[in-house]
Amino acid sequence: MNDISLDYTGLMEDVVGEKHGLTVKLIESLSGRAEKIHKNLIELKEKGEIGFYDLPKIDTRDIKRFAAKIRGKYENLIILGIGGSALGTTAVQTALGHSFSHLLKKQKRNGYPRLFVADNIDPDVFDELLRVTEPKKSLYCVISKSGSTAETMAQFLIVQRMLEQKLKGKWKKRIVVITDGEKGPLRSIAREHGLASFEVPKNVGGRFSVLSAVGLVPLACAGVDIDALLAGAARMDERCGAADLMQKPAYLFSALCYLADTKKAKSSIVMMPYSSKLYGIADFFRQLWAESLGKRFDKTGKEVHTGQTPIKALGVTDQHSQVQLYVEGPFDKLLVFLEVERFGKRVDIPDTFSDRPELAYLAGSSLNELMKVENDGTRYALATHNRPYISIKLPEISAHTVGQLIYMLELATAFAGGLYQVNPFDQPGVEFGKNYTYAMMGREGYDDLRAEIRKRSGISGQKVL
């Protein structure tokens, strides 16, 4: 079946001690609440208020047709998007694509374009990207649910002008838009100019949207098997249909993190894949956990300031940078490992210089074995220093297992909203920043806010050396 699994032995009291570990009794004490939260989420789903649950079953035919149409035509597919419009795509492409696909010739890429995700607006980097990717050989995919995010719209305006100057009226064939079906300036521009477009479902928020057109269009164009990805998500959905909290991987993961935070003071959560290909998942999870659960008010309006700080680390690389802190620093962290049981390749270590005892132990082994032993070593170091951890195990990295993992993290986040009693689907802190940008860049309708910001920011700049 190739199911991913959740091993939480390292978070239990008998491994890391009473002060830092959980007991089965404590976890089970959440069962009653879990049922209520589940019921509430299902009600919201049935009322059509949250839509990410429906994504594993969506019809992908139009997306696959579009991907087939562009295959072989372009060297580059350039995504313009930020946050939830970018992180999921990067995570899946990093996991499933060739790690150095940008260096492969088109034939070796089977006609699929190179995927670039321009999710920042650093002028130097954006300029460099536009210069190394020949516009005549590129397709630009503008992704924004709201269709108005300043960063993405600025990128769009730059690209549109560049294409119009180089290709005249043909610029319209080089831009595909993924946005709300009705609202927003991006939708109206797409309509007015007849641009190819796909819809972001109304009831799916940015960070929960990778399994919608937001992620599926670019991923299908880059050669990812999107049906297998969705089948993986559907499999996780099926596993989470069980009645018992202890049997639902997503809810159980969520409950473990919540208890570690609220009962054992683990206010930070470090996701550490022992796989470079899964590093993007740690970034994706950071956004999900941070934006969904980092809230000032709970659902009743009470000031609560919830949220566990998500951090990313990479095994084995960060054994040589961050692990020292995790093993001996403050007792405020829960580690979550992503572990791969079977890597795609085995890389043997030759027995050259095996006459030297300092190297002989490596002879005849493999990078696979070394990686595993080092992962075991980090877990061992944590356990012996009473530092809790969870392992999410993937039998292999495939579209099916990555689909399971993504959906599990989304479901876990939605459920954690119930545990913390906050709304996991809004992001007032993000909107605050967006509104500041609109006001200070002179957007119409933001005059009052601009005046207020100017008044309040009179106090800044007094302590500058």
The contact set with ligand PA5 (CB under 6 A) reads: 82-85, 144-146, 149, 152, 205-207, 291, 427, 430
Residues contacting 109, CB < 8 A, separation 6+: 98, 101, 223
Tokens of 129: 């990207």
Angle between helix 226-239 and helix 399-420 axes, rounded to 10 deg? 40
Active site residue 320: yes
DSSP annotation of 273 reads E
H or E, element range at 217: helix 213-221
Count H helices and E strands in the chain, helices first. 18, 10
> 3-state class of 152 per DSSP?
helix
Q: How far is the CB of 381 from ligand PA5 (least distance, A)?
A: 35
Q: How far is the CB of 86 from ligand PA5 (least distance, A)?
A: 8
Q: How far is the CB of 206 from ligand PA5 (least distance, A)?
A: 2
Comparison of 330 and 433: residue with beta carbon closer to ligand PA5: 433
Q: How far is the CB of 197 from ligand PA5 (least distance, A)?
A: 14
Active site residue 434: yes
Q: 228, 215, 229: which is closest to 89 by C-alpha? A: 215
Comparison of 146 and 378: residue with beta carbon closer to ligand PA5: 146
Q: How far is the CB of 145 from ligand PA5 (least distance, A)?
A: 4
Q: What own/partner pairs with CB < 8 Å and gap ≥ 24 does 151-155 have?
A: 151/82, 151/120, 151/121, 152/80, 152/81, 152/82, 152/85, 153/185, 153/186, 154/121, 155/80, 155/118, 155/121, 155/126
Active site residue 328: no
Comparison of 51 and 84: residue with beta carbon closer to ligand PA5: 84
Query: Of the listed 291, 333, 339, 410, which one is catalytic?
Result: 291
Q: How far is the CB of 118 from ligand PA5 (least distance, A)?
A: 13
167 burial level (CB within 10 Å; 0-12, 13-18, 19+): middle
Distances (CA, A) of 86 to 215, 280, 294: 8, 11, 20
Comparison of 245 and 439: residue with beta carbon closer to ligand PA5: 439
Comparison of 133 and 144: residue with beta carbon closer to ligand PA5: 144
Comparison of 149 and 398: residue with beta carbon closer to ligand PA5: 149
Backbone angles phi, psi at 12, to 5 degrees: -90, 155
User: Which position's Cβ is nearest ligand PA5?
Assistant: 206
Query: Of the listed 47, 305, 320, 463, which one is catalytic?
Result: 320
| Beta strands per DSSP E along 56-162 | 76-80, 114-118, 138-143
Catalytic residues: 291, 320, 434
